[in-house]
Structure 1
């Protein structure tokens, strides 16, 4: 009877460990996806900044914006 209880405890421990490993793997994958998205966003922002800088160098003017910064003033 004691051996049966020990076997059950061991089985529960193995299942809990497998569940934890799976959860850690999912968290790791999600963090990698978020890291990749952040890097892509940084690259897009850098490209946009470089393009604006080149525009300013070529024309000497700031690029026009399509939004009103302080809309509450109007």
Structure 2
């Protein structure tokens, strides 16, 4: 982004590089979470294909259930 703001690259190049960087970051996150699951840590996945309201309610229920355990 800094290179774009300094007029060192085009907006198209910025979009391309940002897209690649986001995909690489997501891949590292998935690798990290898969290792955690392999090590026995329970990961509570939310379905990103659901409508936002459904995801929000699922997340709230999950947080409430975790707080109730304490």
Higher RCO structure, 1 or 2 (CA under 8 Å, sep 6+) = 2
TM-score, normalised relative to structure 1: 0.46
TM-score, normalised relative to structure 2: 0.49
Higher helix residue share: 1
